[in-house]
Chain A
Amino acid sequence: MTAKAEGIRPDYLHVASMIAPGSKVLDVGCGDGGLLKLLRDQKGVDGRGIELSREGVNDCVAAGLAVIQGDADTDLAFYPDDSFDVVILSQTIQATRAPRVVLEHMLRIGKRAIISFPNFGHWRLRMQLLTRGRMPASENLPYHWYDTPNIHFCTIRDFVDLVREVDAVTERSAALDRHGRAVRVHAPWWFWNLFGEQAVFKLRRKD
């Protein structure tokens, strides 16, 4: 096991806290399988993954995880309705070509969808654009504008709008600071949007 896989990412713990033991879960963009492993070992989850990178997939399969090589933008269409309890998209939505379509597929395939994403409304990023006049970069977003896989950044408020547009209901949500700790739970949206480095949303379809 790699050191990276041993160290559990704080946002994984938030995602895991939103998932019932024994659920059937699809992790879209599962990377090295860290979250799936956590869910399998600690929650007895029946997990599947989709990952774009060949190396990531092969590591996952060698570790005994059921992961396929695929692309969230094209492959979710092949999954039938209601085939999972939860579909997860962690730190990936900003790298999809059609985030809205991906989100709609997630809500179709899963009874619940959990999305975590970097918040482009964070004050540090706002400051970079305002004071330096340059595209923001941070520890979590280390790319240049010209080589980034991230093509559809949004802020927490933008995401909340998208949730409304796809007719979904937010069951739970959290904004996390740079250490992965939850920002004040009862804060208003503007506060989350300014001080959350990333956000986690648990959604379901409107009844």
Chain B
Amino acid sequence: MARRQADEPAGLRARFGPDEPLVLDAGVALSPFQIAYQTYGRLNAEKSNAVLVCHALTGDQHVASDNPVTGKPGWWEIMIGPGKPIDTDRYFVICSNVLGGCMGTTGPASADPATGEAYGLTLPLITIPDMVRAQAMLVKRLGIDTLFCVLGGSMGGMQVLQWAAEYKDMVFSALPIATSAKHSAQNIAFHEVGRQAIMADPQWRGGRYLVEGARPSAGLAVARMAAHITYLSDMALHRKFGRRFQDRDAPTFSFDADFQVESYLRYQGEAFVERFDANSYLYVTRAMDYFDIAADHGGSLAKAFAGTKTRFCIVSFTSDWLFPTADSRQVVHALNAAGASVSFAEIASDKGHDAFLLDEPELFAITRGFLDAAARARGLAGPAG
């Protein structure tokens, strides 16, 4: 059950006590707090083969093993494992639940140690840099000075860029996928629709639903439905559903889910409320909205990456309208202006933003090629066995 995972996650966790507070961008110190994480593969003796995978908005640390809530395979098992592009025979993969999440890292569903009740909206707002600072504390706790690679898609890609900007010496290579150095007005607008859906649900109770024993499931489901549309493309929806009816031959002249696409969205919404916390959704979407690396560096994205030695590979997808290729290009231009080593590939796909989670052989080939070349440059041994 998702609720219990917030405080007692399945898997690994790191606790940070009063002596190690996390100073948030909101101006307050979070302490104590915990980070839930999973690892795959083995850290080598030199501690030079660690890969940090950053998850997207509603992802979690269960990237390459079964999710304890849904029982489904990890969200990127297609990419991570023995012999896969992110080869666990070769690399030590770390994935942590983000700050503000609900799968064991401190978030609004976690119990506030001061009251014993769920934080709800009393948790300070979290930013992407806060998430990354928390991850950095975990990485240091694991005794790792330099990550061989930091990679991830969407919000995970934002974290990758933030890592590269803030911890230049800790990131040997970076692979941000389907992402941007800032959240666009259109994306903020979609997030606002989702948040309003949650907050308009009477069961939300001003954010105190966990304390009051309620659940804003309807609002959260609507938020997920709206967001889900933005992850796909018109082409993908058309191919999958077209205008086909669901279990009927003619319209019912009602507001039932006559169309397959409606039924699909309703299912997506319902499945989501089983595994995600509504307040977490508010916090994490807000974190993305605030994200703007250039603004944090006097308006210059190039300045954020000045002097970087990190090897970058930027990837976008042709049909992604949430994080369009133009966003990736801006990052590439800034990295060029900073003199960074950067590759950039746009992959032809009609699957929309979600393409980075799906079976895209070109993405696998590029990931493998980029990591192999970086491994050679870092002097990492080839795949074991």
Contact = CB atoms under 8 A, between A and B. Distances in A.
Instruction: Decide whether A and B are members of one complex.
Output: yes
Contact of B336 (A58, A62, A64, A79): A79
A80 B365 contact: no
B362 interface: yes
A69 B337 contact: no
A80 B369 CA distance: 27
A63 interface: yes
Given A61-B313, A61-B366, A66 B341 contact: yes
Contacts of B366: 58, 61-62
Contacts of A61: 313, 343, 345, 366, 369-370
Interface string B330-345: 0011001101011111
B369 A63 contact: yes
A68 B337 contact: no
A83 interface: yes
B303 interface: no
B362 A68 contact: no
Interface in A69-106: 69-70, 75, 78-80, 83
B344 A69 contact: yes
A78 B348 CA distance: 24
A60 B344 CA distance: 10
B343 A80 contact: no
Interface residues of B, number: 25
Contacts of A67: 343-344
B341 A57 contact: no
B342 A78 contact: no
A48 interface: yes
B346 interface: yes
Contact of A62 (B311, B333, B339, B365): B365
Nearest to B370: A61
A107 interface: no
Contact of B332 (A46, A62, A65, A68): A68
B376 A64 contact: yes
B194 to A, nearest CB: 32
A164 interface: no
B347 interface: yes
Candidate in B333, B336, B346, B372 with the most chain A CB atoms within 10 angstroms: B336
Interface of A: 46, 48, 54, 57-58, 60-70, 75, 78-80, 83
Given A54-B347, A75-B333, 6 more contacts: A54-B345, A57-B345, A61-B345, A64-B372, A67-B343, A83-B336
